[in-house]
A and B are shown apart, each in its own frame.
Chain A
Amino acid sequence: KNQVEQSPQSLIILEGKNCTLQCNYTVSPFSNLRWYKQDTGRGPVSLTIMTFSENTKSNGRYTATLDADTKQSSLHITASQLSDSASYICVVSGQGGSQGNLIFGKGTKLSVKP
């Protein structure tokens, strides 16, 4: 069964600290993986998209890595800010098929405290 598992479920860090969120998937065949940020009461917003040939992708203080062999991805946040408090969702797209073939993780809820 195609699944996307994220850890931890929730995380609290102090402002200015770094953190890493994990995503493991069993989707096969694999097309791409993206990370979304979802602020409370808002829709998800795309942070990064990586195909199987890409190992890392950065977007400002956000850096995503992908190991297609072990089917693992991570999202590293550097020098966290209060505005980073949100849920981060890992989404994997299967290869081929229709446009409706995204598998969503349940998300990691990050709280950044002053």
Chain B
Amino acid sequence: DAGITQSPRHKVTETGTPVTLRCHQTENHRYMYWYRQDPGHGLRLIHYSYGVKDTDKGEVSDGYSVSRSKTEDFLLTLESATSSQTSVYFCAISEKREGRDNEQFFGPGTRLTVL
């Protein structure tokens, strides 16, 4: 998984509780992303980062916030989890390289269940 770890790998939580997912990379890639994957949908971008403390919203950012204080770590926070946020969350990284623009490498995923 290209030097990408996600923690936790599985989590069950209750509606209304805060949840933080962590993505850690050892590749020193500039760009990091958070996606969610749900049945019947393609991967959907939540937020991404283009450098330390530089982040931007994706397609489905409502209810999520992110932080990146170090190159290697990208945190995804659900301030108050809802059942609609039950999903599998993937972190990805990429670096601009000649001929390989925007090739993203994915982590193993975190399965989150909100009861």
Residues of A within 8 A of B (CB): 4, 31-32, 34, 41-46, 49, 51, 89, 93, 98-107
Contacts and interface: CB of A to CB of B under 8 A. Distances in A.
A34 B43 CA distance: 14
Contact of B44 (A43, A98, A104, A105): A104
A102 B104 contact: yes
Interface residues of B, number: 28
Q: Is the interface of A mostly helix, strand, loop or mixed?
A: strand
A4 B44 CA distance: 13
A46 B31 contact: no
Given A100-B33, A100-B56, A107-B42, A42 B109 contact: yes
A19 B75 CA distance: 40
Contacts of B48: 98-100
B42 A4 contact: yes
Contacts of B33: 99-100
A41 B40 CA distance: 16
A42 B108 contact: yes
Contact of A104 (B31, B43, B107): B43
B43 A99 contact: no
B21 to A, nearest CB: 14
